[in-house]
Amino acid sequence: MRNLYIVTHPEATHHVENIVGGWHDSALTPRGVKDAGRIAATLGDLLSGSLPDGDGGTLLISSDLRRTRQTAETISDRLGLEITFDPDLREPLL
């Protein structure tokens, strides 16, 4: 059995500027950067001792938008995982 953890990016500039996110490539705010660190720390605690040693069993997949890249990179730094960036994880254009 595998566990799936879904993380949304924390506060980004489009939130505080009242812009609809979607494909708008906003960055994390300073608050969002701090929150991404907290998310990474929490995941690190949850997964402590359960991350495989280089067997590729744990995946970190992210949209390619800046705010999600920043969040994934923070998690990657904390957990030592490589990131797969997938543009198909963006919201669909209507």
The reported pLDDT for the residue numbered 24 is 76
Q: What would the 3-class secondary structure string for 2-15 be?
A: CCCCCCCCCCEHHH
- The token duo for 39 is 């998310």
pLDDT value at position 20?
74
Single pTM value for the model: 0.85
pLDDT in tens, 2-53: 788 999 999 898 878 877 767 678 999 999 999 999 999 999 998 877 766 6
Which tens digits make up the pLDDT trace of 43-89?
A: 999 887 776 665 557 899 999 999 999 999 999 999 999 999 999 99
pLDDT at residue 54, as a whole number:
54
Catalytic site residues?
9, 91
For 11-89, strand residue ranges (E) read 60-62, 83-85
Task: Tell me the C-alpha to C-alpha distance, in Å, between residue 12 and each of 5, 51, 56.
Answer: 21, 29, 30
Report yes or no: 27 and 67 within 8 Å, Cβ to Cβ.
Answer: yes
The domain locations on the chain are: 13-89
